[in-house]
Amino acid sequence: MKSIWQADMTYNSLNSFVPEHLPVMQEKAFEFLQCKPGGTYVDATLGMGGHAWSILEKIQPGGLLIGLDRDKESLEKARLHLLPYSDSTRLLHENFKNLPLVLNNLGLGLIDGILVDLGVSSFQLLMPERGFSFQSDAMLDMRMDRTQYMTAANLVNELPEERLADIIYRYGEERYSRRIAAAIVAARDTARITRCSQLAAIVSRAIGGRGSRPIHPATRTFQALRIAVNQELEGLEEFFVNTLPFLKPGGRLVAISFHSLEDRIVKRAFRMLAGHCVCDRPADLCSCPRSERARVLTPRPLTAGDAELAVNPRARSAKLRALERNS
Ligand SMILES: C[S@@+](CC[C@H](N)C(=O)[O-])C[C@H]1O[C@@H](n2cnc3c(N)ncnc32)[C@H](O)[C@@H]1O
């Protein structure tokens, strides 16, 4: 069956204006997931259902795909996209950090594989009204889950200067974080900061011509706020640790991350599950679990090849790691 990504019509013709989202590192992800007919798989970050479609193709007949996304709009787009396979899917509006609870409630027993493709989708980034882009004049929102209260506007207008600077430094790895936080606080004393373009201009002015940057001056600040609004890094390590017991022995977990902060967490969690020390303490003080519950299949993270980069620049920063549960 043809996915609408592969078909001659575009997603847009089905579904009003929707930016295209090409699944990242699809071939490598499937090499490791080893989806088989009749298997049960989780796509923990369903997005527009690009990876999910290919999983569904591979698990026929008799397979089941459980798809989660915290973004209701994405979930509905994916539901439409995956309609031809509706009998083989369960799609849920959920944070993947609740996956153990979801799997317990579904009572399906152990599963064959899990895919986590972290971060935001092109759909979210490019829909101006979602407020993720410094290039838009939309409301400063950045919530993946629009049922949540806190937006980026709340953070920039309400956090103390020091906390804002910490967020911009930690999640954006921005060396001018203190200068930027001070500029935000000065600006909000005059008028509430409500629009993406307003914040982008404040950050650009604060940085001025400092540093020679190939990227927009507001890139790192926007990334930091997005991570903070969506609490993207909190509980990520626990997710891997708590989810592993739901895999069958030999079951596989594949994670794709898009920035070094995420990749570091994935790497640490995988090393811990494989029984390696992940603390910096001397051996006699180390209390890492050291039980070999899994095997790391990717000693180094894999990256996208030139052919993929030529058609999907978003794959540039992708890093893929895979793990197999031990018997
Ligand atoms: C990079 S996109 C996934 C794209 C998808 N693999 C595809 O092929 O279309 C990431 C998706 O994960 C979702 N997401 C991010 N963090 C999440 C979380 N903690 N729980 C559930 N969904 C999450 C985002 O809303 C977004 O739709």
Per residue in 143-177, pLDDT (tens digit) is 999 999 999 999 999 999 999 999 999 999 999 99
Selection from 227, 152, 165, 144 nearest residue 196 by Cα: 152
Atom 27, ligand 1: residue with shortest CA distance:
47
Query: What tokens were used for 106?
Result: 């579904």
Q: Which residue out of 46, 91, 126 has the highest number of ligand 1 atoms within 8 Å of its CB and is therefore the one to mutate?
A: 46
| CB of 81 shorter than 6 A to ligand 1 | no
Q: In the prediction, which pLDDT does 303 show?
A: 98
Ligand 1 atom nearest to 78, measured from its CA: 9
pLDDT tens digits for range 177-235: 999 999 999 999 999 999 999 999 999 999 987 766 678 999 999 999 999 999 999 99
Q: How distant, in Å, are the alpha carbons of 40, 263, 267, 273 from that of 241? A: 20, 15, 12, 7
Q: What are phi and psi of 189, to 5 degrees?
A: -65, -25
In angstroms, rounded to a whole number, what is the distance separating the alpha carbons of residues 21 and 167? 28
Q: How confident is the model at residue 8 (pLDDT cuts 50, 70, 90)?
A: very low
pLDDT tens digits for range 287-313: 888 889 999 999 999 999 999 999 998
Collapsing DSSP states into helix, strand and coil, what is residue 325?
Answer: strand
In angstroms, rounded to a whole number, what is the distance separating the alpha carbons of residues 252 and 205? 47
Ligand 1 centre distance from Cα of residue 74 (Å): 8
Taking residue 195's Cβ as centre, other Cβ atoms within 10 Å add up to 16
| CB of 97 shorter than 6 A to ligand 1 | yes
Q: Which residue out of 45, 126, 236 has the highest number of ligand 1 atoms within 8 Å of its CB and is therefore the one to mutate?
A: 45
Name every residue whose Cβ is closer than 8 Å to that of residue 241 and which is 6 or more positions away in sequence.
269, 272, 273
pLDDT tens digits for range 127-139: 989 999 998 999 9
Q: How many CA atoms lie within 13 A of 49 on its CB side?
A: 30
**Edge-to-edge, what's the strand order for the sheet holding 89-93?**
89-93, 64-69, 40-43, 111-117, 247-257, 319-325, 294-296
pLDDT tens digits for range 64-123: 999 999 999 999 999 999 999 999 999 999 999 999 999 999 999 999 999 999 999 988
DSSP state of 247: E
- The predicted model gives 237-257 an average pLDDT of 98
Q: How distant, in Å, are the alpha carbons of 41, 122, 217, 246 from that of 46? A: 12, 13, 31, 19
